[in-house]
Amino acid sequence: MQENITFESDGLKLSGVIHVPDGHKGEPLPAFIVCHGFVGSKDESHAQIQAEMMEQFGYVALRFDFRSCGESEGERAQVRCFDQVADAKNAVTWLAKRPEVDPKRIGITGHSFGAAVSVYTAGVDDRIACCLSSCGWGDGERKFRGQHPTRESWDRFIGILEEGRAHKQATGESLWMSRFDAVPIPEALRKNLSPKAIMEIPTETAWSMMNFRADDVVANIAPRPLLLFHTANDIITPTIESVRMFEKAGQPTELMLIDTTAHFPLAPADAPRTRMMMKGWLDKFFPSPLAG
């Protein structure tokens, strides 16, 4: 079952879809908040694939559009990392009230930017019982340096951000940049983005990401289970980001690096293997009574 819903976050109405497994017979089930990626969407995206996967695994799942994205309220594309953490926490509050959900067994998952938000949220909100991060990152500046590895590309990127800061101070208005100037994605991999993803961002969004560090709070998740799942040789979000978070995390934490489509482990050709690996981890550390 899927149901379109809305909930409030800091006075804004956010749009979501709740998934309830077909095998639900009335007993409260474990659940997952599903966070979409960089200026992405809950729909036609990795987030929708993740939510449908969790539903099939026997979990209630809530995918939603962060403020300023998709069908949610907020000035379009004006994304700030800590606003997204607030949205995720408010999603937990809403989901905990649903009769289908065991409020003590709500996990969080996300892909890429959504994974960074998931780890940070789990690190600061002990209501979250489990975290599954897919191709996430722990330090915004380190991530950006990995995404702009040459001196020329780094100088260009920082030049755009500095120009945006000066423009904002002089005019009070945002300077806009291509999402691909912030997070380069090879043309061949862009087909994995949601068609509803935003293509331009204000430079303030990139500054927000630069100063966002899930590294700072990842150790707080223990003793709740954490999975850091990443594609090996990721050319979009550097694989080392999950390795660095693993080094800082407590236990139980597992790190899985798989040789598959860069950055998109649930792409059609790779989804069967990815699903099997994730389900095996969930069955051990955060099982659903409907897992069979």
pTM of the model: 0.96
The Cα–Cα gap between 109 and 94 comes to 16
Confidence bin at 192 (pLDDT 50/70/90): confident
Percent of the chain with pLDDT over 90: 92
Residue range 52-70: mean pLDDT, rounded: 97
For 75, other C-beta atoms within 10 Å of its C-beta total 10
150-185 pLDDT, tens per residue? 999 999 999 999 999 999 999 999 999 999 999 999
The Cα–Cα gap between 122 and 124 comes to 6
Predicted confidence at residue 256, as pLDDT, reads 98
Q: In the predicted model, is pLDDT for residue 286 greater than 70?
A: yes
Confidence bin at 64 (pLDDT 50/70/90): very high
User: In sequence order, what are the beta bridge partners of 234?
Assistant: none
Confidence bin at 24 (pLDDT 50/70/90): confident
Where does 96-193 have alpha helices with state H? Answer: 113-124, 140-147, 151-171, 179-182
Residue range 11-35: mean pLDDT, rounded: 95
Q: In the predicted model, is pLDDT for residue 292 greater than 70?
A: no
Predicted confidence at residue 194, as pLDDT, reads 87
Predicted confidence at residue 115, as pLDDT, reads 98
121-156 pLDDT, tens per residue? 999 999 999 999 999 999 999 999 999 999 999 999
The Cα–Cα gap between 246 and 256 comes to 10
Whether residue 19 contacts residue 31, with contact meaning beta carbons closer than 8 Å, is answered with: no
Question: Three-state SS for 273?
Answer: helix
247-264 pLDDT, tens per residue? 999 999 999 999 988 899
Q: Strand locations in the chain, DSSP E?
A: 2-9, 12-19, 29-35, 60-64, 101-111, 128-134, 176-178, 200-202, 226-231, 253-258
For 169, other C-beta atoms within 10 Å of its C-beta total 8
**Between 210 and 196, the higher pLDDT residue:** 210
Q: In the predicted model, is pLDDT for residue 18 greater than 70?
A: yes
Mean predicted lDDT score pLDDT of the chain: 96
Residue range 55-77: mean pLDDT, rounded: 97
Residue range 79-102: mean pLDDT, rounded: 98
Q: In the predicted model, is pLDDT for residue 31 greater than 90?
A: yes
Predicted confidence at residue 193, as pLDDT, reads 87
